[in-house]
Structure 1
Amino acid sequence: MEFPQYFRCPISMEIMKDPVIISTGVTYERRNIEKWFSSYKKTTCPATMQNIENFGITPNHTLKRLILAWQNGQSLSSSSSSSRSPSSSPLSSFKHDEIVSLLKTLNSTPFKVNSLRKFKEIIEVGDEVKLEFIILGGLEVVFQLITQILADSSDFMVFRACEEALGVLQHLPISQENDGKVIELFLKPEFMKSMVIILQRGSKEARVYVMAILRKLANLDFNWNVVLNDQGIGMFKSILELASDEISSKASSSTLQVLIKILDSSKESRSKAIEAGAMCTLIDLLPDSNRSKCEKILLVIKLLCECANGKVAFIEHGLGIGAVSSKLFNVSEIASKICIQIFLLVCSFHDPSNKVLEDMLVYGVVKKLVILMHMSGPSSTKNKMVDMFKKHSYSWSRYPCFPSELKEYIGSYHV
């Protein structure tokens, strides 16, 4: 019996019963790949011949469900003497035929937008429909439409088709349990270039689609460096623009979550974000942000301040100390902890002008930190603050605006 090609194990070419993913993103039958590694002592991927350092395997539950759905469809088809295609799953014949018809339409007509909108309506029905869409080759069709924008981004119909195709894609499951094919497509430079074009020039709805896809990727062990090397600064500028959106707080919050994941992946990503103007944008957003958004913005600022050029950008803004100080003790315990971490980071930076120390005194940061040290119990953060006061208390005590009632307390930390 014929079955979809990607149901086959690349080693045995037989339909898989227990599919697992290896570090290269390729899926194999468990017993075959284990034999390849343990019995034959191979250190390469059988399909790609890449050298492998991580020999861990992960169950591919998504592909296993697809195979079972297809096999159940064959059983139902056989028992009812149905004339349905061998690649069908246990959906109603109407839904199956509708998906097949729409895919044919997409491949043949220049007017693809209406068909894609219909697809969005269909796949919202449930997981079985989404699996059917994947089995019938829908992913490949959608990716082709998305990357077509690179060939002619000035064509309005091509641009709109790309936007609608992203709307379809953001409804599909993207998980670590995939067979690696979806992630492999995401990593292709042409796909990410198309996403950045939509982030820069697309409609508000389409940009939200892109962020929904990026957010799903952010929940995986996704290699952002591949994307950043090619699209870094342009992508960050577009993400920051969406983070500044005051109309949709949901889109703005989702964008900040993606930003945190990307910046947490490498210091190189932080340098590119800083170059794209992230620090200035985030400090400007901070004063009017609600609790949830404030915590995310502070966390991004903290990640950026872990880089030397991030500290410079924070200091050069002029209002960084004041903006962060206004959130200390006034938002949440989480926000306050992040504020303290930011102050500890910028204080460690060599600033010949002592502007940071002066601003911390003027905006009341020093007084707040002294009160916190007096109230809180032993902790690693408190020890770091003590070290900070030992290093800078003499400079602070020389300023006329230094609170006289704090001189005796802070003096105990002077070396």
Structure 2
Amino acid sequence: MEEPPHLFLCPISMELMDDPVTVSTGVTYDRRSIEQWIFGYGRATCPATMQPLANLDLTPNHTLKRVIGSWLDRGSPSPSTSASSSPSTSSLSSPAHELLATPLSRMLGAERLRSALADLEETPFKVTALKNIRACMAGDVAMQCEFVSSGGIQAVARVMAQALAESAAGGDFSAFTACEEAAAVLALLPLADAASVGLVLAPECMRPVMALLQRGGAEARLHAMDIVTKISNAGAGDWTAAAGVEVDDVLKPLLELLADEVSTRLSSRALDVLLDVVARSRDGPAKAVEVGAVHVLVELLADADDRHDAERILLLLKRLCKCPEGRLAFAEHDLSVAAVGKTMLRVSQLATQLAVKVLWLVSVVAPSEKVLEDMVLTGAVAKLLGLLHVETPPATKQKTVRMVRINGGFWRQYSCFPTDLRDYLRLLD
């Protein structure tokens, strides 16, 4: 009997399925294997995609079960089977034959995918080959799993590295186009399991991805950002170190995207990845300050209209101001205090708390005369005093009171400081 089609095999046991059932992610397994995975091992993820299961329902796949049964009957050496397989019979129009159409087309699609991957590095028409691979995988979880298991990530990464090298050496434009199309293929993958993330983190893959963030077209930048965002969300520790790339090479393109404001979607994702890199990388905050993050963030905050953007920018500024370099860069920017002070009592309670923490770091932990003066002139001190009259979290109120008490004497000397607030400062003293 011929080997069963790959689609008929359980992704867990790799044996012909006897009772196929489908889980919430759309992947089909043999009931006995998936029940052992979920209830025996206590797992709540899809083994093929490692995505969380929305529920533990196992839906019988009656269609696939009938197709497997039909395939088994076709493989039987009985006379009736031979007769039914003859073109002269009506079996070609039977329901079983119709049921075979979709699985067989999927099997052929998987075969075409494997063939395209095998020829990818040798073909001179890489862009066309990559587009065909992308079409095979789009919206098809099973085909994406086939791509990964067939070494697709490694093959596409080698093509990206080669294309980037040819482009840098003055090759024709099609080399860089191949790199962009390869990123579009990788962007289709969920990258929800450690194995796939580890393959994408290989330097020959990540360096081209970061290059696309800087030099790619609008669509290519979105694909590259999709890849970086998925890696960031996978929680792979300090993934910049694992990828063998310098933190600067990650931070620079992200900051350029924010400064250029190419698209709202790109800017939003760049903020998320920046937060992740600064939090996970030991040198992240200092390196971010070194490449100009404080300047970019202050400029963005001054014009921020979206509450979520303002909160994330303030959180980044707070993390950067925890290091001396960050506080110095903050103090040197003429708009920094005004931009942060503007968000207090205006954007959200979280924004107010973060703004107070930023001002605390630059006016108490390491005060500079310029920052203290700007706090008076921009109205930040008045807002701090206003915070004492509204309901705020205890930690925020304590920081506010301490800031006012420590710096009150300096602020009172300014003639522009309101008389009623000057009297209030005396009460706090």
Short-chain TM bin: 0.7 to 0.9
Give the SS at the match of 2:253.
helix
Aligned to 1:39: none
Deviations 1:33-74 (A, max 9, x none): xxxxxxxxxxxxxxxxxxxxxxxx9887434889xx9xx899
Aligned to 1:186: 200
Deviations 1:116-135 (A, max 9, x none): 12332332233222223223
Q: Give runs of aligned pairs for residues 304-383 of structure 1, distance below 5 A.
A: 304-351=320-367, 354-376=369-391, 379-383=394-398
How far apart are the structure 2 equivalents of 1:284 and 1:215?
24
Are residues 139 and 408 of structure 1, via their aligned partners in 2, closer, same or farther at CA, if it must alter by over 3 Å? same
RMSD over aligned Cα atoms: 3.5
- Kindly indicate whether residue 221 of structure 2 is the aligned counterpart of residue 204 of structure 1: no
The answer as to whether partners of 1:260 and 1:300 remain within 8 angstroms in 2 is yes
When normalised by structure 2's length, the TM-score is 0.74
How far apart are the structure 2 equivalents of 1:378 and 1:172?
42
Deviation at 1:113, TM superposition (A): 0.8
Deviation at 1:227, TM superposition (A): 5.3
How far apart are the structure 2 equivalents of 1:228 and 1:390?
48
Aligned to 1:391: 406
- Kindly indicate whether residue 183 of structure 2 is the aligned counterpart of residue 166 of structure 1: yes
Q: Give runs of aligned pairs for residues 274-289 of structure 1, distance below 5 A.
A: 274-289=289-304
The answer as to whether partners of 1:322 and 1:363 remain within 8 angstroms in 2 is yes
Deviations 1:182-208 (A, max 9, x none): 222233233222222222322222222
Give the SS at the match of 2:120.
helix
Q: Give runs of aligned pairs for residues 8-87 of structure 1, distance below 5 A.
A: 61-63=46-48, 79=72
Structure 2: runs of 5 or more not aligned: 16-41, 52-60, 76-102
Give aligned pairs, total: 360
Deviations 1:57-102 (A, max 9, x none): 9887434889xx9xx89957962658xxxxxx88623422332343
Larger radius of gyration between Structure 1 and Structure 2: 2
Are residues 92 and 188 of structure 1, via their aligned partners in 2, closer, same or farther at CA, if it must alter by over 3 Å? closer
Letter in 1 for 2:414: Y
> Which shifted more, 188-197 or 367-376?
188-197
User: What stretches of structure 1 move > 3 A for 4+ residues in a row?
Assistant: 1-4, 57-66, 72-78, 227-230
The answer as to whether partners of 1:150 and 1:190 remain within 8 angstroms in 2 is no
- Kindly indicate whether residue 323 of structure 2 is the aligned counterpart of residue 302 of structure 1: no
The answer as to whether partners of 1:174 and 1:216 remain within 8 angstroms in 2 is yes
The answer as to whether partners of 1:76 and 1:90 remain within 8 angstroms in 2 is no
Are residues 301 and 321 of structure 1, via their aligned partners in 2, closer, same or farther at CA, if it must alter by over 3 Å? same
Deviation at 1:163, TM superposition (A): 1.2
The answer as to whether partners of 1:208 and 1:251 remain within 8 angstroms in 2 is yes
> Which shifted more, 390-399 or 95-104?
95-104
How far apart are the structure 2 equivalents of 1:172 and 1:123?
9
Deviation at 1:229, TM superposition (A): 6.9
How far apart are the structure 1 equivalents of 2:14 and 2:425?
72
Letter in 2 for 1:79: L
How far apart are the structure 1 equivalents of 2:243 and 2:293?
15
The answer as to whether partners of 2:48 and 2:145 remain within 8 angstroms in 1 is no
Aligned to 1:236: 251
The answer as to whether partners of 1:187 and 1:226 remain within 8 angstroms in 2 is no
How far apart are the structure 1 equivalents of 2:249 and 2:142?
37
> Which shifted more, 363-372 or 280-289?
280-289
How far apart are the structure 2 equivalents of 1:112 and 1:229?
26
Letter in 1 for 2:200: F
The answer as to whether partners of 2:202 and 2:244 remain within 8 angstroms in 1 is no
Are residues 300 and 228 of structure 1, via their aligned partners in 2, closer, same or farther at CA, if it must alter by over 3 Å? farther
How far apart are the structure 1 equivalents of 2:214 and 2:140?
32
Aligned to 1:121: 135
How far apart are the structure 1 equivalents of 2:148 and 2:287?
35
How far apart are the structure 1 equivalents of 2:4 and 2:261?
53
Deviation at 1:366, TM superposition (A): 0.6
Give the SS at the match of 2:246.
helix
> Which shifted more, 128-137 or 295-304?
128-137
Letter in 1 for 2:259: S
Matching residue within 76, 97, 102 for 2:116: 102
The structure with higher relative contact order (CA 8 Å, sep 6+) is 1
The answer as to whether partners of 2:158 and 2:204 remain within 8 angstroms in 1 is no
When normalised by structure 1's length, the TM-score is 0.76
How far apart are the structure 2 equivalents of 1:124 and 1:107?
21
How far apart are the structure 1 equivalents of 2:363 and 2:105?
62
